[in-house]
Amino acid sequence: MSKSKEAPPDAREAELLDKLTNDELQTRIDEAMMELPSVKQAVFFREYVSNGGDMYQAAVKAKFGDKSKTTNQEKLKKNVQKQASDLIRSEQGKRVIALLMQQINRSCIVNVDWWLRENVAFYRECREMQPTLLNEEGEVVAKDHRNGTQAGAALDRIGKHVGAYKAVTVELGDETQATLRDILKQIHGKTTGIPGGG
């Protein structure tokens, strides 16, 4: 009977981090930062995670090599890059990066949720009906959406976010060009309303 495979260490660590509350995660980050031998390293790791993994720029922000006596800029850059690379590959560095990435990911989720709520609220506002025509007695005889165009744009953004749209591949065969009628016929199976369409 085969034994079930255990999750690799990195995966297990990620699962444990997922279960932490935000306060617990912040405590872990604070503790990890305090264990670093210098403030420069703490600045480096925060910059490295926040800038999307630009190792050299993070090292520059952390002022790595600022006390170097070498005047050779290329040599200085290589030294800084090596120092930064060693930090990232170290076990302590991997732990700090994992903690900070967990925090960044949670922040992104909050921001995306906020974005979605704002777009839904904006869509509903634009879809509200308002009077567009009054008769001589001041009675409403016609209504329309507050802003149908913007409502459609908001709905389009929401649809893209939730994955409502599917990519469509159009096969053009050996033809170097395809008319609008040809493309729509392959997508929808009909060309009604197109001049010359069937």
- How sure is the predictor about 82, in pLDDT bands with cuts at 50, 70 and 90? very high
The domain ranges of the chain are 9-106, 129-160, 167-198
**CB-based burial of residue 81 (10 Å sphere; 0-12 exposed, 13-18 middle, 19+ buried)?**
middle
Instruction: Tally Cβ neighbours within 10 Å of residue 134.
Output: 11
Q: DSSP string of 100-121?
A: HHHHHHHHHHHHHHHHHHHHHH
Closest CA to 65 of 91, 40, 33: 40
Nearest to 62 by CA among 81, 45, 77, 85: 45
Instruction: Classify 67 as helix, strand or coil.
Output: coil
Instruction: Kindly report, residue by residue over 131-146, the tens digit of the pLDDT.
Output: 877 778 778 777 787 7
As a whole number of Å, the end-to-end CA separation of the chain is 63
Q: What is the mean pLDDT of the chain?
A: 77
| Its pTM surpasses 0.85 | no
Q: How many CB atoms lie within 10 A of CB 59?
A: 25
When mean pLDDT is compared across 8-17, 25-34, 153-162, 176-185, the lowest value belongs to: 176-185
Q: Select from 40, 62, 58 the least CA-distant residue to 49.
A: 58
**Beta bridge partner(s), residue 131:** 143
Q: How far is CA 192 from the centre of its chain?
A: 39
Confidence bin at 4 (pLDDT 50/70/90): very low
Report pLDDT for 108: 66
Position 89 confidence tier, pLDDT thresholds 50, 70, 90: very high
Give the sign of the dihedral formed by CA 76, CA 78, CA 81, CA 83. Answer: negative
Give pLDDT, residue 192.
Answer: 47
pLDDT at residue 3 in the model: 47
